[in-house]
Structure 1
């Protein structure tokens, strides 16, 4: 005898799973695009502060 159910999940459950995968893929792709388009924050040592010296710190010199 054949059962009327096909597989372990109902059609509604399969549809919900497909939607969940599509939404998760969209979120991941959006996050990847945002990450690629922005540069990391360097805090006070960022590009606009690169030339500023830290008070009391001399340039690095090798130990002789």
Structure 2
């Protein structure tokens, strides 16, 4: 390390930190974009909600 360099971090350490911040920001933005493209999660009730809207079906009856 040169004696004329000031600060607690070297040039390489600052450069690595900037790259890490840029990559973290890109991952966060990509995650937000994917979340916006997909619909909201309905959790375990998602499949039931999709099947509950059958037209002209009031109540299931056994065949007999």
TM range, smaller chain: 0.5 to 0.7
- Report the CA distance shift for 1:54/1:45 in structure 2 as closer, same or farther (over 3 A): farther
What is the RMSD computed on CA atoms of the aligned residues? 2.2
**Per-residue CA shift, 1:4-56, capped at 9, x if unaligned?**
1211100000000000000000000000000011002332234x31325786x
Unaligned runs of 5+ in 1: 56-64
Distance change in 2, residues 1:49/1:41 (3 Å): farther
Q: What is the number of equivalent residue pairs in this alignment?
A: 52
The two structures have a TM-score, normalised by structure 2, of 0.65
Match of 2:51 among 49, 52, 63: 49
| Cross-structure match for 1:24 | 24
Relative contact order (alpha carbons < 8 A, sep ≥ 6): 1 or 2 greater? 2
Say which structure is richer in helix.
2
Matches of 1:20 and 1:6 in 2, distance apart? 22
For structure 2, the residue ranges without an aligned partner over 5 or more in a row are: none
